[in-house]
């Protein structure tokens, strides 16, 4: 076993840094030496944001998952990746709709009009009847909801 003293971390990091971050696949202009908080051993060198991301995952695992699962964090992460890569259903979640409407409301007027015309096929008179951003957003929501069948 070896020990890396504080006054040698920078030199060791610079000498051993990979060209790309093994987690985010980005440049290593801002890298840190990553270590396991359980054992204290160095795992490698990561981009600073990758290191922070992993730390948040491990903290969340310790808080929410560790006591509710018989499998390890790496296995949970593999399962998460598999789950996220699955196709979604064709059911729009209420929060998903709210987010879509919110994104539309933040668009510039020209982009809103363009979207209503080209994507939702709104008639010119429907769009011209809108006096402001709020009216255009209301029209967007109404037209978008008509694209979905209510499952009730």
Report the SS3 class of residue 101. Answer: helix
| pTM for the structure as a whole | 0.75
pLDDT at 151: 85
Place of tokens 């499998």: 71
Give the chain's end-to-end CA distance (angstroms, integer): 63
Farthest-apart Cα atoms in the chain, separation: 76
pLDDT in tens, 77-125: 999 999 999 999 999 999 999 999 999 999 999 999 999 999 999 999 9
Q: What DSSP state is assigned to residue 34?
A: E
Q: Which residues in 71-102 are b (16+ Cβ under 10 Å) and which e?
A: eeeeeeeeeeeeeeeeeeeeeeeeeeeeeeee
């Amino acid at each position: 076993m070896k020990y890396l003293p504080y006054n040698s971390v920078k030199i060791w990091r610079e000498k051993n840094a990979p060209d790309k971050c093994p987690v985010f696949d980005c440049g290593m202009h801002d890298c840190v030496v990553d270590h396991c908080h359980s054992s204290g051993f160095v795992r490698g060198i990561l981009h600073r944001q990758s290191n922070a991301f992993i730390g948040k995952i491990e903290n969340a695992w310790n808080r929410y998952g560790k006591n509710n699962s018989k499998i390890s964090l790496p296995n949970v992460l593999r399962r998460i990746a598999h789950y996220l890569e699955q196709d979604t259903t064709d059911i729009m979640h209420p929060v998903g709709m709210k987010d879509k409407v919110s994104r539309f409301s933040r668009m510039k007027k020209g982009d809103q009009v363009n979207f209503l015309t080209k994507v939702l096929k709104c008639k010119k008179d429907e769009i011209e009847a809108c006096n402001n951003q709020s009216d255009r957003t209301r029209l967007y929501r109404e037209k978008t909801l008509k694209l979905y069948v209510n499952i009730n």
